[in-house]
Every structure is written in structure tokens, then in C-alpha cells.
Amino acid sequence: MYTLGVVGLGEGRSIMSAALRSDRWELRQVCDLNPNVCRARADEFDFDRWTTSYEELLQDDAIDAIAIYTPDQLHYAHMKQALEAGKHAICTKPLLLSLNGAQELIELSARTGKHVFVGQSSRFFEPMLRQREDFEAGKHGELETVEAHYITDGRWFLEKGWSRQAGFSWMYNFMIHAADLVRWYLPGVEEVVGYGRCSETSRSYGLDAWDNMRFLLRDGEGRIGVVSGSYTLPTLGRDAEPTIQCTLRGTKGSSRAEYFRLHYYTHFAGEGKNVRTFDDLHGYYFRFEGESHHAGEYQNYIEYFADALDRGATPYPDVKEGVRTIAVLEAMRRSAANGGERVRVQDILDERGIEA
Ligand SMILES: NC(=O)c1ccc[n+]([C@@H]2O[C@H](COP(=O)([O-])OP(=O)(O)OC[C@H]3O[C@@H](n4cnc5c(N)ncnc54)[C@H](O)[C@@H]3O)[C@@H](O)[C@H]2O)c1
């Protein structure tokens, strides 16, 4: 049994639910600056070990890992404090909001011997897990292209105060899901080109950040990735267009994993066209009102994390993989800021002296 502390109890609610249902984890204590949020979670889960002081959480010697679900701008500071207190860190996406502090984080994780695991939740959704199994079994043959998008009407998100503060971006907070899925299959992305555009809607909320973005990525073998995001426009609805999708196309077959729908489409040589649905798992993945939170993915990743600890193995995405994804985002940002110029990911890492 491993012990978990959680900081940030908005989305942190999902990992509370996951830990309380797990036989591998004991939820030891939770923390939020806002005592009303702590009380709401205490009532919801009948769990009264809460504090408003992160320092108090870190001082608990019995905690093995801290799960961090605070606003994006605080992730670096909260991970650093967790590692320095001798805890593993499970950090929700985005790991970082820029490459500032990336090398320090890699070194701190190595020096303390504590893992930084990135909670890239989309990897742990049922259709995405099945797609990965098929990929690892070689069913796609030689992979040629990977296309991922995250398209949602996220205007509600602009009601959160911190989404309008310096540092927030749709690219780092939302589109990272699609970028991470492409990088999962094309870990050696070398080059990026693309465009971004800020709509009047984001501007009307006082946010000057691209909310429509389209990027092309290429790895060292010439394989092509596509990453797209739109965040403040009316959508077509999930039946017509998945909110998140990852499509792999290879010489022996293609597949598409979807989110929110629990649908997985395949066309592999000798198997014909198939669609698998996992609707019976809807209650496992979506535990609270509607589909606003998706705790099943967190359940899957904390069980995976515990297995890795048992085996003395590194849980992925680890800090280096997380930093490489941030470097790809930085290449996208730079390309779009410079009219679609071609940006090399390694140049960005070299400029910053990052060994990821
Ligand atoms: N799919 C996913 O993996 C997923 C989904 C949603 C949110 N997230 C991530 O979770 C994080 C939080 O998002 P959210 O939607 O829950 O935001 P939120 O604003 O609803 O919740 C953040 C909470 O952190 C608390 N907090 C702020 N500063 C704190 C501090 N110093 N110490 C302790 N608590 C503090 C706030 O009081 C608030 O309750 C973000 O980084 C977001 O990107 C990930």
C-alpha cells in the first residue's frame, strides 16, 4: 500500500475518488487553500483529513506521493517542494507552462531519486489504452501518420479567475492532450510548423491567447503528426466530432480512439472494419455529475504508478518525457508566433541546456 496526499481539490476530486477506491493506495491527507472546497470534499467523500496548508501536507512523513492539481502557474513550485520534501510527484497536465525550470526539475528528480509522473489523463482512457495495445502488437504495420485533436467549447473555463491570469494558454492547458498523444506515438518529433489565432471571444474575456491552432509535426523518419485545437467556438457535438481523438494510420491498418465517447474504431489487415464500444465502463470513467470529471483515467494511472513503484520501474510519462512535450509546445508556439516558420525541437532544448 502506498500513501497519497493531494493538493488542489477542484480536479483533485477525481484522484481523491481514485485513491479511495484503490487497494494500492491509502489517501492520507488532502489540501486546498480554500477551506470551503476542503469542507465540500470532506462531506462528499466522508473524508475529514484536510488542511489549507501545503507545508503541513509536505511535513507528513507517512506520505509517499503528492498529487498536484493546483492551477497551472503553480505546478513547478509545488513539484519542487514535493521532491524536496522527499515525496514522489504526480502532476496533472501541463507539467510546466514554459521550459523555465525544466532542467532544474529533471536534476531535482534525479538527485532526490523521486519520480515526477505526468498525469496525461487522455493516455489512460479506455479507447486510448486499447489503441496503444494494438500499436504495440504491431497491428498498424509501419506507422505513417498520427492525427490528434482536442476541440471543445471551453468558454466556461474562462470563468475561472486563474485562466485569465498571466501564464494561462489554451495551448498548454488544453491542446497539450492532443500534442501528448501525437508525441506518444512519435517520440522523436524533430520539426514543427503551424499557425495560431486568437478569436474575438477570447479577447472579450481579456485573454490574448490563441484559441484556434493547427500544427504539423515531423519525426526523424519523416512520419507526420497533426495536432489541432479550437476552444471557444460552438462545436458540432460529440456524435459528429469527438472532443479528443487520436488516429493512427499505418501500412497494415488504421485506428481511431475517441473521447468522450467510449468508442474505438479499427481497420486492420485481415480483420475488416470494426468499432468497439465500452459503454459499460461509462460509470467507471465518469463518476460525478455528467461527464465533467473523468476519474477512471486517474484510477488507471495511479494503479499503473503503484505497479511501477513495485517493480522499481519508471512510470511514464516521466519528467524527461513531460519536458520533451513542453519543448514541442514551445516549438509550436514559436512557429505560430513567427508566421509558421519551421522550428526544430532540439534547437530549443539546446538553447536552454536541457538534457531531456
Ligand atoms: N484531464 C486532466 O488531466 C485535467 C482536467 C481538468 C483540470 N486539470 C488540471 O488540474 C489543475 C486544476 O484545474 P481545476 O480545473 O481543478 O482548477 P480549479 O480552479 O477548479 O481548482 C484549483 C484548486 O486549487 C486550489 N489552490 C490554488 N492555489 C493553491 C495553493 N497554493 N495551495 C493549495 N490549493 C491551492 C484552489 O483553491 C482551487 O480549489 C490545472 O492544472 C488543470 O490543467 C487536468
Last residue of a domain, one of 107, 122, 137: 122
Question: Is the peptide bond prior to 47 cis by the omega test (within 30 degrees of 0)?
Answer: no
Same structural domain for residues 270 and 134?
A: yes
pLDDT number for residue 103: 98
- Whether 6 lines ligand 1, by a CB cut-off of 6 Å, is no
Confidence of residue 157 (pLDDT cuts 50, 70, 90): confident
Spatial separation of the C-alpha atoms in residues 116 and 353, rounded to whole Å: 20
Task: Check whether 74 has a pLDDT greater than 90.
Answer: yes
Mean local confidence (pLDDT), 73-99: 97
Q: Is residue 292 part of a domain?
A: no
State which residues form the domain around 57.
Answer: 2-122
CA distance readout (Å), 194 to 77, 97, 167, 170, 214: 31, 19, 21, 15, 6
User: In total, how many domains does the chain have?
Assistant: 2
Mean pLDDT of 315-321: 98
Query: Distance, CA 73 to ligand 1 centroid (Å)?
Result: 10
Q: Residue 114: pLDDT above 90?
A: yes
pLDDT at 216 over 90: yes
Model confidence at 60, pLDDT cuts 50, 70, 90, reads very high
Placement of cell 487520436 in the chain: 246
Say if residue 240 is in the same domain as residue 328: yes
Residues 131, 110 within the same domain: no
58 and 155 in a single domain? The answer is no
Q: For ligand 1, pick from 6, 7, 11, 50 the residue to mutate: most ligand atoms within 8 Å of CB.
A: 11
Whether ligand 1 lies within 6 angstroms of the CB of 121 is answered as: yes
Q: Using CA atoms, how far apart are residues 210 and 204, in angstroms rounded to an integer?
A: 13
Q: Tell how far the Cα of 245 is from the centroid of ligand 1, in angstroms.
A: 24
Is residue 307, in this structure, part of any structural domain at all?
no
Q: Is 8 in the pocket of ligand 1 (CB under 6 A)?
A: yes
Q: How far apart are CA 349 and CA 30, in angstroms?
A: 35
Give the position, in ligand 1's atom list, of the atom nearest the Cα of 70: 24
Q: Please report how many Cα atoms fall inside a 13 Å half-sphere around the Cα of residue 229, on the Cβ side.
A: 28
Does 74 lie in the same domain as 6? yes
The alpha carbon of 70 and the centre of ligand 1 are apart by a number of angstroms equal to 4
Q: What is the mean pLDDT of the chain?
A: 96
| Statement to judge: residues 231 and 269 lie in one domain | yes
Residue that terminates a domain, selected from 105, 122, 139: 122
Q: pLDDT tens, 13-56?
A: 999 999 999 999 999 999 999 999 999 999 999 999 999 999 99
Q: What is the pLDDT of residue 112?
A: 98
Higher pLDDT, 220 or 168: 220
Do residue 128 and residue 72 come from a single domain? no
Q: Inform me whether the pLDDT recorded for 166 exceeds 80.
A: no
Whether residue 113 is found in the same domain as residue 155: no
Same domain, 141 and 117: no
pLDDT at 79: 98
% of the chain at pLDDT higher than 90: 92
Residue that finishes a domain, picked among 88, 122, 156: 122
Q: Residue holding cell 459503454?
A: 279
Q: Which of 7-11, 110-114, 292-296 is predicted with the least confidence, judged by mean pLDDT?
A: 292-296
For residues 339 and 190, membership in a common domain is answered with: yes
